[in-house]
Amino acid sequence: MATSRRDFLRTASLLAATAGLGSLAQEAPEKRRNVLFIASDDMRPQLGCYGRKKMVTPNIDRLAAMGTMFARAFCQQAVCSPSRTSLLTGLRPETTRVHDLQTHFRGILPDIVTLPQHFKNHGYYTQGFGKIFHGGLDDPASWSEKSWHPKAPGYLKPETLAFMQERRKELTEAGKLGKRENVLERDPKTGLPLKLAPPDTRLRGPAWEDPDCGDSDLGDGKTCDEVIRVMGEVKDKPFFLACGFIKPHLPFVAPKKYYDLYPEGTLELADNPFPPKDVPAIAMHTFGELRAYSDIPDVGPVDDKKALELIHGYYASTSYVDAQVGRLLDALKENGLADNTIVILWGDHGWQLGEHGIWCKHSNFETSCHVPMICYSPDQKAPGQPSNALTEFVDIYPSLCELAGLPVPEALEGTSFAPLMDRPDLPWKTAAFSLYPRGSTMGWSMRTDRYRYTEWGAWQQEPQFRELYDHEADPEENVNLAGHPELAATIAALSQQLHQGWRAARPQKA
């Protein structure tokens, strides 16, 4: 039987790792696929390639036309650090026990091998740029070189800077902006921060700004510049370059030319700015992250005028990131790397733009958990064909290993989606799993082909609350059906499936 190139590389790498034949990888480095790993903070899949034509994203759409757009990909927890931790370790939040923005996974799993660390251990040059791990919780063991972060202003308009200066003075005089040690616990051997203090009062300006500036006057443009520079330096060795864009995270600061892509009157408010009917209160939140900005009310809803401004800012910030993605793809081509580099783009979770009357993420709703995930491999057999299979962020680690020909660690809790890049319509997972804690109560959520089902309460105990949304009849999740007695059998079956967990939902091996 003929051996595929992917099987050959996987076997060769495994032999090198287990038999000490390190020279095998060194003899033919040109045959080892590079990885360009592109992260975008708070990017929801409201992109052209996802059928949302009002969003101007020609470069992300170009990547989708080259590779595979996963139409139904989901994060494991809709907030930055837990999602990124899960993705980069290949383990679910139940295993990492990282559910907040202050806990480093090394304090819980000190010997875990992260995705970039695995590539580094197999002879790759690895470096992170911008936001890959959550701020303050970087992982030096993952990188060949120290992570690089841009030095750039958060705002640029003179009136905003004047406001910020006055606000800084007020907070300082009130004793609310003093310096304090924000690291509560460090690794005694390495000094790595393992536990951070909750955030103190932060100086926030407006939620959006449209300075008339160049891309590289802001942080994400500078990050793109540096990735391109290093790419040129390391192009003759196998590399794993991780490029982390901050936008479209708040504040929505992007060059004016990206705001100009969306003229007044072209944007619309969310169709469903109200809570789902019969939703339990625990499923909702008051979007405190957004309220920290100076132009957002402390309580109550965001009015329509401000909502349209925020939507405009989110769209512009996404188009700004899209332009940087285009620069990266062009740089691969210019450096002769396009035919030897795997490219993956992901946004760490979705984002509410007024759906259900809420903003930001921090929920188990589809709009918070549904994520963009696009992957290109020079070896894939179905370029440009999207996949509607249920996939998850924990799948990225084993997938990149398989695509690059590296051994896949046995402890990973995802499933390689590499087969879907050859046959996008393969029978696949029966469910994708997410969770979100609300105080001391956990919300356990599952997306099947038709339903989103959520239980709030202790695991394997009678739930305090349930949610059930039928995506065939109600794709916006506007009616919670969990209290409908005629659906009791459906709810019982979904509850059983939820508690059987992700292992039971994996695709059957051919």
CA 234 to chain centroid, in Å, comes to 26
From 2-6, 153-157, 402-406, the region with the lowest mean pLDDT: 2-6
Contact criterion met (CB below 8 Å) for 349 and 40: no
More confident residue, 3 or 261: 261
- Written as one string, the DSSP assignment of 403-446 is HHTPPPPTT--S---HHHHH-TTS---S-EEEEEEETTEEEEEE
What is the model's pLDDT at position 198? 83
The pLDDT value recorded for residue 175 is 83
Assign 3-class secondary structure to 439-504: CCEEEEEEECCCEEEEEECCCCCCCCEEEEEECCCCCCCCECCCCCHHHHHHHHHHHHHHHHHHHH
CA–CA separation, 279 and 281 (whole Å): 6
What is d(CA 420, CA 426) in angstroms, rounded to the nearest whole number?
A: 6
Q: What is the pLDDT of residues 76-116, one digit of tens each?
A: 999 999 999 999 999 999 999 999 999 999 999 999 999 99
Is 510 exposed, middle or buried, given 0-12, 13-18 or 19+ CB atoms closer than 10 A? exposed
Residue 140 or 52, more confident: 140
Roughly how many angstroms between the first and final C-alpha of the chain, as a whole number? 17
Distance CA 34, CA 331 (A): 14
| Cβ 408 vs Cβ 416: under 8 Å | yes
Q: What is the average pLDDT score of the chain?
A: 93
Question: Would you tell me which CATH number, out of the four given (3.40.720.10, 3.30.750.24, 3.40.50.720, 3.40.50.300), belongs to the domain 5-18+28-155+210-422?
Answer: 3.40.720.10
Asked if residue 315 has pLDDT above 60, the reply is yes
- Work out the burial of residue 27: count CB atoms within 10 Å of its CB; fewer than 13 is exposed, 13-18 middle, 19 or more buried: exposed
Tokens (6 digits) for 510: 């051919």
Q: Which of 51-60, 165-174, 279-288, 437-446 has the lowest mean pLDDT?
A: 165-174
Tell me the HSE value of 109 on the side-chain side, using a 13 A CA sphere. 19
Residue 123 token pair: 């002879």
Token couple for 335 = 């450096």
**pLDDT at 24 exceeding the cut of 80:** no
User: Using one digit for the tens of pLDDT, what is the confidence trace for 374-389?
Assistant: 999 999 999 999 999 9
| pLDDT > 80? residue 11 | no
Composition of the chain by helix, strand, coil, percent to 5: 35, 20, 45
> What whole-number percentage of the chain has pLDDT above 70?
93
Q: Which residue in this structure is represented by tokens 């188990």? A: 364
pLDDT-based confidence at residue 29 (cuts at 50, 70, 90): very low
Contacts of 36 (CB under 8 A, 6+ apart): 231, 241, 243, 328, 332, 341, 342, 343, 344
**pLDDT tens by residue, 31-43:** 689 999 999 999 9
- Per-residue pLDDT at 179: 65
Interatomic CA distance for residues 465 and 500, integer angstroms: 19
For 177-223, the DSSP string reads S-----EEEE-TTT--EEEEPPP-------SEE--S--GGGSHHHHH
Angstrom distance (rounded) from CA 390 to CA 93: 18
Cα→Cα distances 96→84, 195, 353, 505, Å: 11, 14, 29, 20
Pairing of β 441-447 and β 432-438: antiparallel
The Cβ of residue 62 has, within 10 Å, a number of other Cβ atoms equal to 18
Token digits for 89?
A: 């370790």
Q: What is the mean pLDDT of residues 447-471?
A: 96
CA gap 256, 246 in Å, rounded: 17
Mean pLDDT for 292-317 is: 97
Task: Check whether 7 has a pLDDT greater than 80.
Answer: no
% the chain with pLDDT above 90 = 88
What local confidence, expressed as pLDDT, does residue 55 receive?
95
- How many other C-beta atoms lie within 10 A of the C-beta of residue 188? 8
Its pTM stands at: 0.93
Inform me whether the pLDDT recorded for 26 exceeds 90: no
What is the reported pLDDT for 31? 61
Collect all residues with Cβ–Cβ distance below 8 Å to 399 and sequence separation of at least 6. Answer: 375, 414, 416, 417, 418
**Active centre residues (catalytic):** 80, 134
Instruction: Name the band, by pLDDT with cuts 50, 70 and 90, for residue 180.
Output: low
Over residues 60-89, mean pLDDT: 98
Point out the least confidently predicted range of 15-29, 175-189, 440-454, 455-469.
15-29
Q: Which residue has the higher pLDDT, 264 or 366?
A: 366
* Collapsed DSSP state (helix, strand, coil) of residue 234: helix
Q: What is the pLDDT of residue 460?
A: 86
Residue bearing the bigger pLDDT, 178 or 422: 422
For residue 303, name the pLDDT band (cuts at 50, 70, 90): very high
